[in-house]
Amino acid sequence: MCGMNALTKQATRTAVSANGLRKAYGEKIVLDGVDLSIGAGEVFALLGPNGAGKTTTVQILSTLIPADAGTASVMGHDLRGEADAVRAVIGVTGQFSAVDNLLTGEENLLLMGRLLHLPAAERRARTARLLERFDLVEAARQTPATYSGGMKRRLDIAMTLMGRPRLIFLDEPTTGLDPRSRHTMWQLIRDLVAEGVTILLTTQYLEEADQLADRIAVLDLGRIVAEGTPDELKRRIPGAHIRLRFADAASLDAAARALREGTRDDEELVLRVPNEGGIASLRDVLARLGDGIVVEDLSIHTPDLDDVFFALTGSPSKEQAQ
């Protein structure tokens, strides 16, 4: 009971609180008034396309660059006045693995230990434990030049964990990883959460935010356009749909009559039918179409980041627009 109590108390504390963060490089506004409130022990995802301001937000909150305006505190320490106190409690794993390529995996971890001023015995013990935990024991004596992308990313996170951070910034931790490494990374993140670490994650993938985050903020052109739990956000996105393409207008007309809930696109000869119920719904749509109408092409569409963006901002994400 006592443990529960402590946990509840911790969960109510604020890990990150930011108000009106602004950043511009010359004419280009990167952050246009970002407010964030992240509870201790929470996994918070910043979701957005390239150029939305995700990395800039992480850079500001991890003391790398100052904001032009706005205030923020991390684990109760003011970003401007107590930067070193902030640095002592955070860990940052950036978009590109920041490991020393001329040192072995083991030496990289030992270097972190030295810089954290850990006693020699603890340095070695913690290095051994992290190598074990991140499945790098066999590669420990090799330099990262021989590592795969996933291994480098694991070494990077292991280095971040040397200092036992209470808040970890993970900037696009799975970008560029193959699906298998991505799932390994997700499991690693879940394990961290189980230990009570607060995580601020940035990602371009709705699925990743959905899988990992307690709360998601959608960032677009330097502004947070929506915030909530994954379920709250998904309710705001138009549901999945079945996309039917026809050879001619006559077939489209016939199909549109059979499936009145669909929205038609006469130019592309496409009918989009909402598909909430998976297989059952698909079977129902096909049954109602019957044998008489010839469908050229059928695809099942599940909501992705573009849908989120379309729904929340009324315009496709920047990348798609390009």
Partner 1 sequence: MTTLTIAAQDSATMLGRELKHTVRFPLLLIGSILVPAVLLLLFVYILGGPIGHGLGDAARGAPYVDFLVPGILMVTVAAGSGTTAINVCLDKTGGIIDRFRTMAIARGAVLTGHVGASVLRTLVTTTVVTGVALLAGFRPEASVAGWFAVAGIVAAFSFALAWLSAALGLVAKSVAGANGSTLPIQFLLPFLSSAFVPASSMPAGVRWFAAHQPFTPVVECLRDLLTGTPAGSAAYLALAWCAAIALAGYLWARAAFRRGTPVT
The whole-angstrom distance between residue 278's C-alpha and the CA centroid of its chain comes to 26
The answer to whether the Cα torsion of 3, 167, 185, 139 is positive or negative is negative
How big is the CA angle at 172 (ends 307 and 24), to the nearest 5 degrees? Answer: 85
Q: Which one, 100 or 207, has the nearer CB to partner 1?
A: 100
Q: How far is the CB of 196 from partner 1 (least distance, A)?
A: 21
- Report phi then psi at 227, rounded to 5: -150, 140
Q: How far is the CB of 76 from partner 1 (least distance, A)?
A: 15
How big is the CA angle at 145 (ends 133 and 121), to the nearest 5 degrees? Answer: 40
Q: Which one, 41 or 94, has the nearer CB to partner 1?
A: 94
Q: Which one, 65 or 249, has the nearer CB to partner 1?
A: 65
Q: Which one, 91 or 303, has the nearer CB to partner 1?
A: 91
Tokens of 308: 């989120």
Longest dimension (CA), the chain: 78
The answer to whether the Cα torsion of 54, 184, 234, 286 is positive or negative is positive
Q: How far is the CB of 143 from partner 1 (least distance, A)?
A: 8
Tokens of 287: 């049954």
Q: Which one, 83 or 237, has the nearer CB to partner 1?
A: 83
Q: Which one, 103 or 237, has the nearer CB to partner 1?
A: 103
Residue 124 identity: R
**CB neighbours (10 Å) of residue 120?**
10
Q: How far is the CB of 158 from partner 1 (least distance, A)?
A: 12
| Interacting residue ranges for partner 1, rule: CB under 8 A | 25, 28, 55-56, 59, 62-65, 84-85, 87-88, 90-92, 94, 96-103, 107, 111, 114-117, 159, 163
Q: How far is the CB of 227 from partner 1 (least distance, A)?
A: 23
Q: Which residue, among 19, 94, 23, has the nearest Cα to 58 in the 3D structure?
A: 94
Q: How far is the CB of 42 from partner 1 (least distance, A)?
A: 20
